[in-house]
């Protein structure tokens, strides 16, 4: 009999829930899935310009609740919260994962000049720090070139996806001229490039993140 195992996702964007559910079903088909969505974690971070103690504590409560509900593993899908996830993972018994580590490891293996594209400054900086730390740990000499597409996120929140996608696409084309590959700091940006028929290299966190986490789960024999 297959042992009971529950994977809990903590989302800050409701639209990503079915995306990750599909990816998890493909990679961990025997696991029960649960999702918690709290968009205020991201909105408060954007408003305050950083992950403050209030947001950190709220995320910690969601993780504690997932623990008490019998989760075998927990994934936070918001890259903005990645450093908070790392801090909380050190004091959480249940394995806790940030979604962007697999993307970072893939990026530093594949290239030495890497662009980092974001529509939120609160996501751009932690993504760069993760990439720098990952390159250092891997013994790779990498150069990172960042680009903030600052108006795109507010435009997307207003409902104008067409304009958002156009801005992201333009920023990607500009940045990709100077680097070997581009890392998209937010999963919400991928659609803009997927629809453009581009053959230039870019990486996103959902699939690479789930590949990495599923591999870690198998290694730990959860």
65 CB-side CA count, 13 A:
13
pLDDT tens digits, 19-34: 999 999 999 999 999 9
- Name, in order, each residue with C-beta under 8 angstroms of 70's C-beta and a sequence gap of 6 or more: 4, 6
CA distance 212 to 218: 10
Mean pLDDT, residues 45-57:
96
pLDDT tens digits, 60-99: 999 999 999 999 999 999 999 999 999 999 999 999 999 9
pTM given for the model: 0.93
CA distance 72 to 84: 20
* Dihedral sign computed on CA atoms, order 162, 163, 168, 170: positive
Q: Is 100 left (phi over 0), alpha (psi -120 to 50) or beta?
A: alpha
> Which two structure tokens, joined as six digits, stand for 88?
């909380």
Q: Mean pLDDT of all residues in the chain?
A: 92
pLDDT tens digits, 209-222: 999 999 999 998 76
pLDDT tens digits, 152-199: 888 888 888 889 888 998 999 999 999 999 999 987 787 777 765 555
Q: 38 pLDDT exceeds 60?
A: yes
């Amino acid at each position: 009999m297959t042992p009971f195992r529950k994977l809990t996702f903590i989302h800050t964007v409701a639209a990503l829930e079915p995306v990750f559910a599909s990816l998890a079903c493909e990679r961990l088909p025997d696991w029960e899935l649960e999702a918690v969505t709290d968009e205020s974690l991201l909105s408060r971070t954007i408003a305050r310009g950083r992950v403050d103690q209030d947001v950190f504590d709220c995320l910690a409560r969601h993780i504690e609740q997932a623990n008490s509900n019998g989760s075998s593993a927990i994934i936070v899908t918001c890259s903005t919260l990645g450093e908070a996830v790392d801090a909380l993972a050190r004091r959480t018994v249940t394995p806790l994962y940030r979604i962007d580590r697999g993307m970072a490891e893939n990026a530093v293996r594949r290239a030495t000049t890497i662009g980092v594209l974001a529509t939120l400054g609160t996501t751009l900086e932690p993504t760069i720090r993760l990439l720098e730390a990952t390159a250092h740990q891997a013994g790779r000499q990498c150069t990172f070139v960042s680009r903030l597409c600052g108006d795109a996120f507010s435009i997307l929140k207003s409902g104008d996806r067409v304009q958002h996608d156009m801005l992201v696409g333009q920023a990607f084309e500009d940045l990709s001229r100077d680097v070997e590959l581009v890392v998209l700091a937010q999963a919400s940006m991928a659609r803009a490039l997927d629809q453009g028929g581009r053959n230039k290299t870019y990486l996103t966190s959902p699939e690479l993140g789930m590949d990495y986490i599923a591999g870690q789960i198998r290694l730990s024999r959860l």
